[in-house]
Structure 1
Amino acid sequence: MEFSAKLNELAAKIKQQKGAIQTEEGTKTAFVLPFISKVLGYDIFDPSEVCPEFICDVGTKKGEKIDYAIMKNGQVQMLFECKKVGSDLTINNASQLFRYFHVASARIGVLTNGQKYRFFTDLDNKNKMDEKPFLELDFLDIDDHIIAELFKLTKDAFDIDSIVNAAGELKYIGQIKKIVSAQFASPDDDFVRFFSQKVYEGVHTQRVRELFSTLTRKALAQFLNDQTNERLKNAISTSSTPIDSSSIVENKAILAPAKEDDVETTSDEMEGFYIVKAISRNVLEGKRIVFRDAKTYFSVLVDDNNRKPLCRLHLNGNKKYISVFDESRAETRHELQSLDEIYKFSNHIITAAKLYL
């Protein structure tokens, strides 16, 4: 099963069973353990890989335990602190995670209530967990933009350097999106003043400020509707089937149709890339492995060089394919029934990787 399908499957379960869960233990059993095992791919029955009730001695506090530690080669990679489904994931609820993060030398801390997950690292101060997460997941409102980043946390693709390198950008983009969303819903004085000073030359009295607060909110709502309707019109104009213009509905987010020269990198392509990268890292440094997306295929390359291909993926049609290369760089295409079948071509990918040592 592909990664996005695993997320959707667990999301459906959470939506159906959330109301029946009354305890933290129930939350862990029903939601958190399936996330760790089925979505991230770790063996929850192997304590050397997933250690429950992980003991962290902090100062004078001995024998304190954190819910789960994800291990690799005896080293802690991630720590999970779990709360009952429906609980607020506040900084106060993360106090244990803050303490354990430093002692266990983990790089990823996860605070979850089974439905929502907040992922932390140490961008601000090394070995000290940040107060703000770099990634947030809500299973009842999955943001498609984070799927590729979430995939990096899976067992097969886990690459701490890649995760931490991307964490800074993810953290600040997430915060900016929250601010923009809040301003669209209820613009604050500074935001309103920014616009009113550009369009109104009179004195900014209290009455004027109140007026422009209302006008700004209306203008933002109309702007979103105009953008949505314009995209719908474009979609309608490129369709061979007549569509009644009354189907244009306010506040429905529609993706803009792709232009002739547009190239969109999909979540399937990113998942495929991380699978190939995980395989190739047996031979090459992870930073040497990159991708280039084209309209008809998705290339995984070494040193960002078209003459150093590891493979090509064709994942956006009705059928999926992988093109692999032999020692003479001859290309052979094979059909894939699922993204997991990329692993069947590990020997081909490693053979190609060895050419670029």
Structure 2
Amino acid sequence: MRITGYRTLTTVQHWGRPVGDANGVIAEGVTEVPVVLVETDSGLTGVGLGPHEGIERVFAAIEGEDPRAVASLYDRMLDRVFKSGHAGGVFGTIGALDTALWDLKAKAAGEPLWRTLGARTNAVPAYASALDMGLAADELEAVYQRYAERGFTAAKLKGGLDVEEDRRRLELVRDVLRDASPGVRPALMLDANESWSRKQAVRHVAELERGLDLTWVEEPVRRWDADGLAAVGRGVRAAVATGENLTGLEQYRPLLAAGAVDVVQAGAVWGVTHFLRVSVLAHAHDLPVSPVGSQPNPLAHAAAAVPNHLVCELQNLDQPFGLDVDVEVADGAVVLGERPGIGVEVDEAAIAAHRASGDWRAPAGPHVRPGHAGRRLVPLLRP
């Protein structure tokens, strides 16, 4: 089997609600979902999820190769763009192609990826995460009620702009989860998305911890600030989680060396091989790993196979338009199916006919950092 070509397309996720964080909110709740399809001479097509930036240059590293040599091809892609390969867009393109190669490897074996990777079970523990910064109280309650009905007892909320508002929202979600699962103590997490300074982070979280038990606080300061993350970890009871925006093991090493992270995260868009390598690095430091991303999340297959997986983020209970995913969500877990590969089938014709569009990088959205982030002296309900 040899790789012969690729196709790219972009579909959308209809969230049905505003989505965002402390940096910004997409009010219309429609975002793009880029897809990469890798073609082979065997007739099998691999599906990858992630950006297309610089794909012509990256694809040249794998064209004509056997897609089953995934680990070697991943390194070939990094080598081909070694001066820009660890930048966001290009690293994401490598991740999308890498996921498509893993999809092909499992399809060639006639089995789901979780089985190819050696997992013993297809049920992956998950937590609810609704990108909920733009939701009013009644909307917030309705969204997490849907999760609670699927057996979720853990949730991560967006926050960081107003401590009393964060307290009210965390308490509301705690009560929703607790009422749906009597006798179970819900796990609550707060994600600040790099919006605080070190002192702001400690003061904000310490105030919340006077009445709440937070499992972790996520990205309290900038992603590369090893000393700052370690200082936050010393100043609060909650664990510190970070890593979703790190691209490459060399970016994790300073954080691990400084004892700056308690829960090691990896973004779904960076690919399966990246997650597997991050998991090994975290395991060597006796740390748990947690994949971050929306549905469908191919990293759930890899999470099922690593010994130190803690819990997987689930941002939406619905799938992007035109994607059929062999997965169920039940009993607080992502239950992977038996369809070969990552379990994603793409309706290209339907996607081509669908006119909707969305952009995570819209000026008011969460992917654009406000100029005053980390320098707020008074509470703000919106950035």
TM-score normalised according to structure 2 size: 0.24
Q: Which has the higher contact order (CA 8 A, sep 6+)?
A: 2
TM-score normalised according to structure 1 size: 0.25
| Structure holding more helix per residue | 1
- Which one has the largest radius of gyration? 1
